[in-house]
Amino acid sequence: MIRILTLLLSTFVLLQSSLAAESRPNVLFILCDDLRPNALGCYGSPHVKTPNIDRLAGEGVRFANTFCTTSLCSPSRGSILSGLYAHVHGVTNNFTEYPATLRSFPSVLHDAGYATAYFGKYHMGEENDDPRPGFDMFVTHKGQGKYFDTEWNLNGKKREVIKGYYTTIVTDLALDWLKQQKDGKPWCACIGHKAPHSFYTPEPKYEHAFDDVRVPYPATAFMLEDKPAWIKQRLYTWHGIYGPLFEWRKKFPDDSPAAVKDFENMVHGYWGTILSVDDSIARVRAWLEETKQLDNTIIVFMGDNGLLEGEDGMVDKRTAHEASLRIPLIVRAPQLTKVAKVIDKQVLTVDVAPSLLELCGAPALPKIHGKSFVKLVQSGDPDWRQSWFYHYNYEKQFPYTPNVRAVRTDGWKFIHYPHGDGSADKHMAELYDLKNDPGETKNLIGKPEMISKIEELQGELAKLMLATGLDAHTDKMPLDEGVKSELPDAKIR
Protein backbone atom coordinates (compact mmCIF):
# COMPACT_ATOMS: atom_id res chain seq x y z
CA MET A 1 0.00 0.00 0.00
CA ILE A 2 2.85 2.39 0.88
CA ARG A 3 4.51 1.65 -2.46
CA ILE A 4 1.26 2.34 -4.29
CA LEU A 5 0.75 5.62 -2.41
CA THR A 6 4.34 6.62 -3.14
CA LEU A 7 3.87 5.85 -6.82
CA LEU A 8 0.62 7.84 -6.94
CA LEU A 9 2.27 10.77 -5.17
CA SER A 10 5.21 10.73 -7.59
CA THR A 11 2.85 10.62 -10.54
CA PHE A 12 0.90 13.56 -9.10
CA VAL A 13 4.06 15.61 -8.61
CA LEU A 14 5.22 14.89 -12.15
CA LEU A 15 1.81 15.81 -13.51
CA GLN A 16 1.77 19.06 -11.53
CA SER A 17 5.28 19.91 -12.75
CA SER A 18 4.23 19.25 -16.33
CA LEU A 19 1.15 21.42 -15.98
CA ALA A 20 3.22 24.15 -14.34
CA ALA A 21 5.70 24.06 -17.22
CA GLU A 22 2.91 24.28 -19.78
CA SER A 23 1.22 27.19 -17.98
CA ARG A 24 4.35 29.29 -17.59
CA PRO A 25 4.21 32.21 -20.02
CA ASN A 26 6.58 32.59 -22.92
CA VAL A 27 8.50 35.85 -23.28
CA LEU A 28 8.92 37.76 -26.52
CA PHE A 29 11.28 40.67 -25.82
CA ILE A 30 11.63 43.17 -28.67
CA LEU A 31 14.27 45.90 -28.34
CA CYS A 32 14.70 48.82 -30.72
CA ASP A 33 17.74 51.08 -30.88
CA ASP A 34 17.40 54.87 -30.37
CA LEU A 35 13.60 54.80 -30.61
CA ARG A 36 11.80 58.00 -29.64
CA PRO A 37 8.35 57.40 -28.13
CA ASN A 38 6.76 60.13 -30.23
CA ALA A 39 7.82 58.31 -33.41
CA LEU A 40 5.03 55.78 -32.72
CA GLY A 41 1.34 56.27 -33.37
CA CYS A 42 0.30 55.22 -29.87
CA TYR A 43 2.64 57.82 -28.37
CA GLY A 44 1.18 60.59 -30.47
CA SER A 45 3.03 60.68 -33.80
CA PRO A 46 0.82 62.37 -36.40
CA HIS A 47 2.93 61.00 -39.26
CA VAL A 48 4.37 57.57 -38.41
CA LYS A 49 1.61 54.98 -38.63
CA THR A 50 2.41 51.93 -36.48
CA PRO A 51 -0.86 49.95 -36.28
CA ASN A 52 0.72 46.72 -35.07
CA ILE A 53 2.69 48.34 -32.26
CA ASP A 54 -0.38 50.43 -31.41
CA ARG A 55 -2.45 47.24 -31.22
CA LEU A 56 -0.12 45.83 -28.57
CA ALA A 57 -0.57 49.02 -26.56
CA GLY A 58 -4.34 48.85 -27.02
CA GLU A 59 -4.40 45.33 -25.58
CA GLY A 60 -1.90 45.79 -22.77
CA VAL A 61 0.01 48.50 -20.94
CA ARG A 62 1.56 51.62 -22.41
CA PHE A 63 4.00 53.21 -19.99
CA ALA A 64 3.80 56.93 -20.70
CA ASN A 65 6.86 57.97 -18.69
CA THR A 66 9.63 55.42 -19.13
CA PHE A 67 13.28 56.51 -18.96
CA CYS A 68 16.78 55.12 -19.42
CA THR A 69 19.25 55.60 -16.58
CA THR A 70 22.12 56.10 -19.03
CA SER A 71 21.30 57.28 -22.56
CA LEU A 72 23.81 55.18 -24.42
CA CYS A 73 23.24 51.83 -26.13
CA SER A 74 25.48 49.38 -24.27
CA PRO A 75 25.07 50.76 -20.73
CA SER A 76 21.30 50.90 -21.16
CA ARG A 77 21.12 47.36 -22.54
CA GLY A 78 23.12 46.14 -19.56
CA SER A 79 20.63 47.83 -17.22
CA ILE A 80 17.65 46.27 -19.02
CA LEU A 81 19.13 42.79 -18.70
CA SER A 82 20.38 43.10 -15.12
CA GLY A 83 18.15 45.58 -13.30
CA LEU A 84 21.31 47.46 -12.26
CA TYR A 85 22.76 50.90 -12.89
CA ALA A 86 25.70 50.95 -15.31
CA HIS A 87 28.39 51.66 -12.71
CA VAL A 88 27.42 48.40 -10.98
CA HIS A 89 26.92 46.08 -13.95
CA GLY A 90 30.12 47.54 -15.39
CA VAL A 91 29.08 48.34 -18.97
CA THR A 92 29.70 52.08 -18.77
CA ASN A 93 30.49 52.66 -22.47
CA ASN A 94 29.83 51.12 -25.89
CA PHE A 95 32.97 49.00 -25.88
CA THR A 96 32.60 46.89 -22.72
CA GLU A 97 31.28 43.33 -22.44
CA TYR A 98 28.37 42.42 -20.22
CA PRO A 99 30.14 40.36 -17.53
CA ALA A 100 29.87 36.63 -18.28
CA THR A 101 29.22 35.84 -14.61
CA LEU A 102 26.57 38.52 -14.07
CA ARG A 103 23.01 37.22 -13.98
CA SER A 104 20.36 38.59 -16.33
CA PHE A 105 16.66 37.96 -16.75
CA PRO A 106 17.25 35.57 -19.72
CA SER A 107 19.85 33.59 -17.78
CA VAL A 108 17.49 33.25 -14.80
CA LEU A 109 14.73 32.06 -17.11
CA HIS A 110 17.15 29.61 -18.75
CA ASP A 111 18.01 28.09 -15.41
CA ALA A 112 14.28 27.90 -14.61
CA GLY A 113 13.70 25.66 -17.61
CA TYR A 114 13.10 28.12 -20.43
CA ALA A 115 14.54 27.78 -23.91
CA THR A 116 16.31 31.09 -24.52
CA ALA A 117 17.52 32.84 -27.66
CA TYR A 118 18.83 36.20 -28.84
CA PHE A 119 18.64 37.47 -32.42
CA GLY A 120 19.96 40.78 -33.66
CA LYS A 121 21.91 43.70 -32.30
CA TYR A 122 23.37 42.88 -28.89
CA HIS A 123 26.03 45.61 -28.81
CA MET A 124 27.89 44.83 -25.63
CA GLY A 125 31.38 44.06 -26.83
CA GLU A 126 31.91 46.01 -30.06
CA GLU A 127 34.02 43.39 -31.86
CA ASN A 128 32.63 40.24 -30.24
CA ASP A 129 29.86 38.35 -32.00
CA ASP A 130 30.35 35.04 -30.18
CA PRO A 131 27.51 33.35 -28.24
CA ARG A 132 26.93 34.64 -24.71
CA PRO A 133 26.09 32.64 -21.56
CA GLY A 134 22.45 32.05 -20.72
CA PHE A 135 21.24 31.57 -24.29
CA ASP A 136 20.59 28.31 -26.13
CA MET A 137 20.72 30.18 -29.43
CA PHE A 138 22.65 33.38 -30.00
CA VAL A 139 22.74 35.10 -33.39
CA THR A 140 24.36 38.53 -33.66
CA HIS A 141 27.07 40.47 -35.49
CA LYS A 142 30.00 42.71 -34.76
CA GLY A 143 29.46 46.40 -34.14
CA GLN A 144 26.37 48.19 -35.38
CA GLY A 145 25.49 45.83 -38.21
CA LYS A 146 24.22 47.14 -41.56
CA TYR A 147 20.70 47.78 -42.80
CA PHE A 148 21.48 45.61 -45.83
CA ASP A 149 23.52 42.41 -46.08
CA THR A 150 24.87 42.08 -42.54
CA GLU A 151 27.36 39.33 -41.68
CA TRP A 152 25.88 37.21 -38.90
CA ASN A 153 27.49 34.83 -36.42
CA LEU A 154 25.02 31.95 -36.32
CA ASN A 155 25.36 30.63 -32.77
CA GLY A 156 29.12 30.31 -33.06
CA LYS A 157 28.87 27.69 -35.81
CA LYS A 158 29.53 29.90 -38.82
CA ARG A 159 29.57 33.48 -40.03
CA GLU A 160 27.42 34.25 -43.03
CA VAL A 161 26.38 37.35 -44.94
CA ILE A 162 22.62 37.06 -45.30
CA LYS A 163 21.34 39.16 -48.17
CA GLY A 164 18.41 41.41 -47.45
CA TYR A 165 17.08 44.08 -45.12
CA TYR A 166 18.14 43.79 -41.48
CA THR A 167 14.65 44.02 -39.95
CA THR A 168 13.32 41.30 -42.25
CA ILE A 169 16.31 39.01 -41.71
CA VAL A 170 16.30 39.25 -37.91
CA THR A 171 12.57 38.46 -37.91
CA ASP A 172 13.15 35.45 -40.20
CA LEU A 173 15.88 34.15 -37.87
CA ALA A 174 13.69 34.49 -34.79
CA LEU A 175 10.68 32.83 -36.41
CA ASP A 176 12.81 29.93 -37.66
CA TRP A 177 13.91 29.25 -34.09
CA LEU A 178 10.44 29.68 -32.60
CA LYS A 179 9.02 27.14 -35.05
CA GLN A 180 11.49 24.56 -33.72
CA GLN A 181 10.40 24.86 -30.08
CA LYS A 182 8.75 21.89 -28.41
CA ASP A 183 5.28 22.01 -26.93
CA GLY A 184 5.28 22.20 -23.13
CA LYS A 185 8.63 23.98 -22.75
CA PRO A 186 8.38 27.76 -22.27
CA TRP A 187 10.65 29.99 -24.28
CA CYS A 188 12.18 33.46 -24.09
CA ALA A 189 13.05 34.98 -27.47
CA CYS A 190 14.85 38.33 -27.64
CA ILE A 191 14.83 40.29 -30.90
CA GLY A 192 17.28 43.20 -31.08
CA HIS A 193 16.45 45.45 -34.02
CA LYS A 194 19.06 47.75 -35.51
CA ALA A 195 16.27 50.18 -36.37
CA PRO A 196 15.95 53.03 -35.99
CA HIS A 197 19.66 53.59 -35.25
CA SER A 198 21.73 55.69 -37.63
CA PHE A 199 22.59 55.60 -40.42
CA TYR A 200 18.87 55.67 -41.10
CA THR A 201 18.19 53.59 -44.19
CA PRO A 202 14.60 52.56 -44.91
CA GLU A 203 13.88 49.56 -47.09
CA PRO A 204 12.95 50.56 -50.65
CA LYS A 205 9.18 50.38 -50.18
CA TYR A 206 9.39 53.05 -47.46
CA GLU A 207 12.06 55.32 -48.96
CA HIS A 208 9.52 57.98 -49.95
CA ALA A 209 6.85 57.38 -47.31
CA PHE A 210 7.25 60.86 -45.82
CA ASP A 211 8.29 62.97 -48.82
CA ASP A 212 5.34 65.30 -48.33
CA VAL A 213 5.94 65.93 -44.61
CA ARG A 214 7.85 69.09 -43.79
CA VAL A 215 10.18 68.82 -40.78
CA PRO A 216 11.64 72.10 -39.47
CA TYR A 217 14.24 72.38 -36.75
CA PRO A 218 12.49 72.36 -33.36
CA ALA A 219 11.84 75.78 -31.83
CA THR A 220 14.14 74.96 -28.89
CA ALA A 221 17.10 74.78 -31.28
CA PHE A 222 17.03 78.59 -31.23
CA MET A 223 16.30 79.06 -27.51
CA LEU A 224 19.80 78.68 -26.13
CA GLU A 225 20.39 82.01 -24.39
CA ASP A 226 20.09 80.53 -20.89
CA LYS A 227 21.68 77.17 -21.70
CA PRO A 228 25.27 76.13 -20.87
CA ALA A 229 27.88 77.06 -23.46
CA TRP A 230 28.71 73.44 -24.32
CA ILE A 231 25.26 73.03 -25.90
CA LYS A 232 25.96 75.94 -28.25
CA GLN A 233 29.42 74.56 -29.02
CA ARG A 234 27.85 71.22 -29.94
CA LEU A 235 25.74 72.80 -32.73
CA TYR A 236 28.48 72.43 -35.36
CA THR A 237 29.74 68.98 -34.34
CA TRP A 238 28.83 65.36 -35.12
CA HIS A 239 26.06 65.72 -32.54
CA GLY A 240 24.68 69.11 -33.61
CA ILE A 241 22.04 70.15 -36.14
CA TYR A 242 24.58 72.03 -38.29
CA GLY A 243 26.95 69.06 -38.48
CA PRO A 244 26.93 66.06 -40.85
CA LEU A 245 23.66 64.61 -39.49
CA PHE A 246 24.96 61.04 -39.70
CA GLU A 247 26.01 61.69 -43.32
CA TRP A 248 22.65 63.03 -44.47
CA ARG A 249 24.48 66.35 -44.92
CA LYS A 250 27.48 66.05 -47.23
CA LYS A 251 28.88 69.57 -46.84
CA PHE A 252 29.17 70.72 -43.25
CA PRO A 253 28.94 72.56 -41.01
CA ASP A 254 26.04 74.40 -42.57
CA ASP A 255 23.80 76.77 -40.61
CA SER A 256 22.08 78.28 -43.65
CA PRO A 257 18.26 78.22 -43.74
CA ALA A 258 18.31 75.94 -46.79
CA ALA A 259 20.25 73.27 -44.86
CA VAL A 260 17.13 72.36 -42.89
CA LYS A 261 16.30 70.12 -45.87
CA ASP A 262 19.14 67.81 -44.83
CA PHE A 263 17.65 67.62 -41.35
CA GLU A 264 14.24 66.84 -42.83
CA ASN A 265 15.69 64.06 -44.97
CA MET A 266 17.38 62.57 -41.92
CA VAL A 267 14.12 62.50 -39.96
CA HIS A 268 12.27 60.97 -42.92
CA GLY A 269 14.87 58.20 -43.06
CA TYR A 270 14.55 57.59 -39.33
CA TRP A 271 10.77 57.31 -39.54
CA GLY A 272 11.00 54.99 -42.54
CA THR A 273 13.00 52.37 -40.65
CA ILE A 274 10.29 52.24 -37.96
CA LEU A 275 7.64 51.21 -40.50
CA SER A 276 9.58 48.00 -41.12
CA VAL A 277 9.71 47.29 -37.39
CA ASP A 278 5.92 47.55 -37.32
CA ASP A 279 5.78 44.99 -40.16
CA SER A 280 7.99 42.69 -38.10
CA ILE A 281 5.61 42.91 -35.15
CA ALA A 282 2.75 41.87 -37.43
CA ARG A 283 4.64 38.80 -38.67
CA VAL A 284 5.58 37.53 -35.22
CA ARG A 285 2.10 38.19 -33.86
CA ALA A 286 0.52 36.28 -36.75
CA TRP A 287 2.65 33.24 -35.87
CA LEU A 288 1.68 33.48 -32.20
CA GLU A 289 -1.98 33.58 -33.18
CA GLU A 290 -1.64 30.66 -35.60
CA THR A 291 0.01 28.52 -32.92
CA LYS A 292 -2.45 29.67 -30.24
CA GLN A 293 0.37 31.03 -28.05
CA LEU A 294 -0.51 34.72 -28.12
CA ASP A 295 -2.28 34.89 -24.77
CA ASN A 296 0.37 32.79 -23.07
CA THR A 297 3.18 35.05 -24.27
CA ILE A 298 4.41 38.19 -22.53
CA ILE A 299 5.28 40.63 -25.30
CA VAL A 300 7.60 43.49 -24.35
CA PHE A 301 8.33 46.20 -26.90
CA MET A 302 10.74 48.97 -25.95
CA GLY A 303 13.69 51.16 -26.90
CA ASP A 304 17.12 51.16 -25.26
CA ASN A 305 17.51 54.94 -24.99
CA GLY A 306 15.96 58.13 -26.28
CA LEU A 307 17.11 60.32 -29.14
CA LEU A 308 17.60 64.05 -29.59
CA GLU A 309 16.11 65.14 -32.90
CA GLY A 310 17.04 68.81 -32.94
CA GLU A 311 15.94 69.67 -29.40
CA ASP A 312 18.28 72.40 -28.09
CA GLY A 313 20.06 72.14 -31.44
CA MET A 314 21.30 68.62 -30.71
CA VAL A 315 21.13 65.19 -32.35
CA ASP A 316 22.10 61.78 -30.91
CA LYS A 317 21.54 61.16 -27.15
CA ARG A 318 23.77 61.04 -24.01
CA THR A 319 22.39 64.21 -22.38
CA ALA A 320 19.88 64.37 -19.51
CA HIS A 321 17.28 66.27 -21.51
CA GLU A 322 13.84 64.75 -21.99
CA ALA A 323 14.20 63.61 -25.60
CA SER A 324 17.43 61.81 -24.71
CA LEU A 325 15.94 60.08 -21.65
CA ARG A 326 12.48 59.04 -22.78
CA ILE A 327 11.87 55.58 -24.22
CA PRO A 328 8.73 53.70 -25.25
CA LEU A 329 7.70 50.68 -23.21
CA ILE A 330 4.67 48.56 -24.11
CA VAL A 331 3.77 45.26 -22.46
CA ARG A 332 1.03 42.97 -23.73
CA ALA A 333 0.47 40.23 -21.18
CA PRO A 334 -2.92 38.93 -19.98
CA GLN A 335 -1.00 37.78 -16.90
CA LEU A 336 -0.37 41.47 -16.17
CA THR A 337 -3.68 42.97 -17.24
CA LYS A 338 -6.62 41.98 -19.42
CA VAL A 339 -7.71 45.60 -19.68
CA ALA A 340 -5.70 48.19 -21.61
CA LYS A 341 -3.99 50.69 -19.34
CA VAL A 342 -1.74 53.72 -19.51
CA ILE A 343 0.69 54.11 -16.61
CA ASP A 344 1.94 57.64 -15.90
CA LYS A 345 4.38 56.87 -13.07
CA GLN A 346 8.12 57.06 -13.77
CA VAL A 347 9.35 53.62 -14.87
CA LEU A 348 13.01 52.88 -15.63
CA THR A 349 15.04 50.47 -17.73
CA VAL A 350 16.15 48.77 -14.50
CA ASP A 351 12.52 47.80 -13.79
CA VAL A 352 12.15 45.50 -16.80
CA ALA A 353 14.12 42.50 -15.51
CA PRO A 354 12.41 42.20 -12.09
CA SER A 355 8.98 42.67 -13.69
CA LEU A 356 9.47 39.91 -16.27
CA LEU A 357 10.82 37.49 -13.69
CA GLU A 358 7.85 38.10 -11.40
CA LEU A 359 5.38 37.57 -14.25
CA CYS A 360 7.13 34.28 -15.12
CA GLY A 361 7.22 33.07 -11.51
CA ALA A 362 11.02 32.86 -11.72
CA PRO A 363 13.53 33.63 -8.95
CA ALA A 364 14.29 37.31 -8.42
CA LEU A 365 17.65 38.86 -9.19
CA PRO A 366 19.35 39.82 -5.89
CA LYS A 367 20.36 43.32 -4.83
CA ILE A 368 19.19 45.15 -7.94
CA HIS A 369 18.21 48.79 -8.32
CA GLY A 370 15.01 48.22 -10.27
CA LYS A 371 11.55 47.38 -8.99
CA SER A 372 8.83 45.20 -10.49
CA PHE A 373 5.97 47.21 -11.96
CA VAL A 374 3.48 44.32 -11.65
CA LYS A 375 1.79 45.73 -8.53
CA LEU A 376 1.87 49.24 -10.01
CA VAL A 377 -0.08 48.06 -13.05
CA GLN A 378 -2.47 45.69 -11.32
CA SER A 379 -3.52 47.65 -8.25
CA GLY A 380 -1.38 50.76 -7.97
CA ASP A 381 1.72 51.08 -5.81
CA PRO A 382 1.67 53.90 -3.22
CA ASP A 383 5.39 53.34 -2.62
CA TRP A 384 6.37 53.81 -6.26
CA ARG A 385 9.34 56.11 -6.93
CA GLN A 386 8.91 59.84 -7.21
CA SER A 387 12.52 60.53 -8.14
CA TRP A 388 15.54 58.86 -9.75
CA PHE A 389 19.00 59.81 -10.94
CA TYR A 390 20.73 59.77 -14.31
CA HIS A 391 24.40 59.60 -15.11
CA TYR A 392 26.64 59.60 -18.17
CA ASN A 393 30.42 59.77 -18.45
CA TYR A 394 32.37 61.83 -20.98
CA GLU A 395 33.73 59.77 -23.88
CA LYS A 396 36.97 60.67 -25.59
CA GLN A 397 35.70 58.86 -28.70
CA PHE A 398 32.61 61.15 -28.77
CA PRO A 399 33.77 64.43 -27.17
CA TYR A 400 30.52 66.33 -27.51
CA THR A 401 28.84 65.77 -24.12
CA PRO A 402 30.26 66.45 -20.62
CA ASN A 403 30.00 64.20 -17.59
CA VAL A 404 26.36 64.36 -16.53
CA ARG A 405 24.75 63.82 -13.12
CA ALA A 406 21.05 64.62 -12.88
CA VAL A 407 17.97 64.00 -10.78
CA ARG A 408 14.44 63.87 -12.14
CA THR A 409 11.42 63.99 -9.86
CA ASP A 410 7.77 63.89 -10.88
CA GLY A 411 7.89 67.64 -11.36
CA TRP A 412 11.49 68.87 -11.48
CA LYS A 413 14.85 68.19 -13.05
CA PHE A 414 18.30 69.33 -11.92
CA ILE A 415 21.35 68.65 -14.13
CA HIS A 416 24.96 69.34 -13.32
CA TYR A 417 28.22 68.70 -15.11
CA PRO A 418 31.17 67.66 -12.92
CA HIS A 419 34.53 68.20 -14.59
CA GLY A 420 35.96 64.85 -13.54
CA ASP A 421 38.94 66.26 -11.65
CA GLY A 422 37.22 66.82 -8.32
CA SER A 423 36.80 70.54 -8.80
CA ALA A 424 33.57 72.48 -9.10
CA ASP A 425 31.35 71.97 -12.11
CA LYS A 426 32.90 73.22 -15.33
CA HIS A 427 29.59 74.01 -17.01
CA MET A 428 26.47 75.92 -16.07
CA ALA A 429 23.91 73.68 -14.36
CA GLU A 430 20.28 73.38 -15.50
CA LEU A 431 17.00 73.46 -13.59
CA TYR A 432 13.58 72.83 -15.11
CA ASP A 433 10.03 73.00 -13.82
CA LEU A 434 8.65 70.04 -15.77
CA LYS A 435 5.04 70.58 -14.77
CA ASN A 436 4.92 74.07 -16.28
CA ASP A 437 7.72 73.70 -18.82
CA PRO A 438 7.79 70.09 -20.13
CA GLY A 439 9.83 71.20 -23.14
CA GLU A 440 12.65 72.48 -20.90
CA THR A 441 12.65 75.89 -22.58
CA LYS A 442 13.50 77.96 -19.48
CA ASN A 443 16.60 77.19 -17.45
CA LEU A 444 15.82 78.45 -13.93
CA ILE A 445 19.25 77.79 -12.45
CA GLY A 446 20.09 81.49 -12.09
CA LYS A 447 16.88 82.57 -10.39
CA PRO A 448 17.46 83.63 -6.75
CA GLU A 449 14.05 82.32 -5.73
CA MET A 450 15.12 78.83 -6.86
CA ILE A 451 17.98 78.45 -4.37
CA SER A 452 15.99 76.33 -1.92
CA LYS A 453 14.68 74.12 -4.74
CA ILE A 454 18.21 73.62 -6.06
CA GLU A 455 19.48 72.65 -2.61
CA GLU A 456 16.57 70.24 -2.19
CA LEU A 457 17.31 68.55 -5.54
CA GLN A 458 21.05 68.44 -4.87
CA GLY A 459 20.30 66.61 -1.64
CA GLU A 460 17.94 64.21 -3.38
CA LEU A 461 20.54 63.48 -6.07
CA ALA A 462 23.21 62.74 -3.47
CA LYS A 463 20.83 60.44 -1.57
CA LEU A 464 19.82 58.51 -4.68
CA MET A 465 23.40 58.09 -5.86
CA LEU A 466 24.57 56.96 -2.42
CA ALA A 467 21.89 54.26 -2.43
CA THR A 468 23.70 52.70 -5.42
CA GLY A 469 27.15 53.11 -3.91
CA LEU A 470 28.14 56.45 -5.45
CA ASP A 471 29.58 59.26 -3.34
CA ALA A 472 32.35 61.83 -3.66
CA HIS A 473 34.98 59.09 -3.29
CA THR A 474 33.47 56.30 -5.39
CA ASP A 475 31.97 58.31 -8.26
CA LYS A 476 34.93 58.25 -10.60
CA MET A 477 34.50 59.91 -13.98
CA PRO A 478 36.76 60.83 -16.90
CA LEU A 479 38.27 64.26 -17.19
CA ASP A 480 36.07 66.48 -19.35
CA GLU A 481 38.37 67.62 -22.17
CA GLY A 482 35.69 69.83 -23.70
CA VAL A 483 33.57 69.76 -26.83
CA LYS A 484 35.68 69.01 -29.90
CA SER A 485 34.99 69.38 -33.60
CA GLU A 486 36.64 66.27 -35.02
CA LEU A 487 34.45 63.44 -36.30
CA PRO A 488 34.46 60.08 -34.50
CA ASP A 489 36.26 57.11 -36.00
CA ALA A 490 34.17 55.73 -38.87
CA LYS A 491 34.31 52.21 -37.38
CA ILE A 492 32.43 53.18 -34.20
CA ARG A 493 29.75 55.48 -35.57
Residues 286, 312: one domain? Answer: yes
**Start-to-end C-alpha separation, the chain:** 72
Q: Which helix (H) or strand (E) holds 78?
A: helix 73-82
Q: Averaged over 195-214, what is the pLDDT? A: 97
Residues 401, 353: one domain? Answer: no
For the segment 108-145, what is each residue's pLDDT rounded down to a tens digit?
999 999 999 999 999 998 889 999 999 999 999 999 99
Residue 54 has pLDDT above 70, yes or no: yes
Residues 36, 75: one domain? Answer: yes
Give the residue from 352, 279, 397, 401 showing the smallest Cα distance to 84.
352
Residue 8 has pLDDT above 80, yes or no: no
Q: Which of 385, 413, 429 is the last residue of a domain?
A: 385
Domain that holds residue 401: 388-492
Q: Averaged over 214-234, what is the pLDDT? A: 98
Residues 302, 437: one domain? Answer: no
Which whole-number Å values give the CA distances from 273 to 56, 147, 197, 209, in the listed order?
Answer: 19, 9, 9, 10
CA atoms of 432 and 430, how far apart (whole Å): 7
Tell me, yes or no, whether 468 lies in a domain.
yes
Residues 313, 458: one domain? Answer: no
For the segment 311-321, what is each residue's pLDDT rounded down to a tens digit?
999 999 999 99
State how many domains the chain has.
2
Residues 437, 370: one domain? Answer: no
Tell me, yes or no, whether 52 lies in a domain.
yes
Q: Among residues of the chain, what percentage have pLDDT more than 90?
A: 92
Residue 424: its pLDDT value, please?
Answer: 86
For the segment 373-389, what is each residue's pLDDT rounded down to a tens digit?
999 999 999 999 999 99
Tell me, yes or no, whether 45 lies in a domain.
yes
Residues 325, 419: one domain? Answer: no
Strands 412-416 and 430-433: antiparallel
The CATH number of the domain holding residue 406 is 3.30.1120.10
Residue 303 has pLDDT above 50, yes or no: yes
Residue 289 has pLDDT above 70, yes or no: yes
Give the residue from 314, 319, 209 showing the smallest Cα distance to 270.
209
Residues 371, 401: one domain? Answer: no
Residues 322, 423: one domain? Answer: no
Q: Among residues of the chain, what percentage have pLDDT more than 70?
A: 96
Residue 125: its pLDDT value, please?
Answer: 86
pLDDT band, very low/low/confident/very high, at 493 (cuts 50, 70, 90): confident
pLDDT band, very low/low/confident/very high, at 291 (cuts 50, 70, 90): very high
Residues 379, 394: one domain? Answer: no
Residues 198, 328: one domain? Answer: yes
Tell me, yes or no, whether 33 lies in a domain.
yes
Q: Which of 342, 363, 385 is the last residue of a domain?
A: 385
Residues 413, 280: one domain? Answer: no
Residue 14: its pLDDT value, please?
Answer: 35
Q: Which of 385, 415, 438 is the last residue of a domain?
A: 385
